[in-house]
A = this chain, B = another copy of it.
Amino acid sequence: MTNQRYGQFCGLARAAEIVGQRWTLLILRDLSVGPRRYSDLLAGLPGIPTNTLAGRLKELEEESLLARAVASEGERSIVYGLTPRGKELIPVLDALSRWGAGGMRSPREGEIVTTASLVAALRVAAGDGIAPKAWNTRYTIRVGDVEINVIMRDGIIMVGPGAAEDPDLVITAGPQIRDLLAGELDAVTAIKSGAVQLEGDPMLLERFAEVLRVPYSPFAPVSLQ
């Protein structure tokens, strides 16, 4: 499977030959959350053909963006994880993610939220990952049947898949969570309108919305000059 080449001695062209292939960016996004098995990736990327996934994983391994490893002793299952070279790409994925989110308003027909997409979105929203030191809070965020956690601890924000243990606040929302992160919907309105449902202290949603904030640039079609 010889990658298509652009024939230019250019960093962007080289990058495009790798990440410009269909599904590759989403595979990398899923792996950016943590090492995953083949079947995890397949489940997190609805619509990807199995041969395409297998081919991409092989190519990305050849490019040293990811490595395969046996999950644990005795297990037959294989996990794929990003190498340092692959991890270098995470800030770029996040920048692209932020740009793409600026063009999003509401889900199109049939669009879903996956665990990795929600983790990536909140990782972007967390920005530099710094919160006030005193805010030690554990959040679980539910969108559909997806659950992720956001932990603020000692001034650091961590985002990961799965519910938080003993959460201080459980936030259940639909795609409108995007508007909350975008600052287009404030916490009070979100609660009143029913856009989010809470289990726990509602004040903790204010902190959440204050720290996890994507300053999407306003997007208006314009003409040149």
Contacts and interface: CB of A to CB of B under 8 A. Distances in A.
A112 B12 contact: no
Given A35-B224, A85-B103, A224-B81, A97 B22 contact: no
Interface in A109-125: 110-114, 117, 120-121, 124
A69 interface: yes
Contact of A14 (B8, B66, B101): B101
Contacts of A81: 224-225
Given A7-B47, A11-B124, A19 B223 contact: no
**Oligomer copy total:** 2
A94 to B, nearest CB: 8
Nearest to A117: B10
B9 A113 contact: yes
A104 B79 CA distance: 28
Given A67-B224, A224-B67, A88 B217 contact: yes
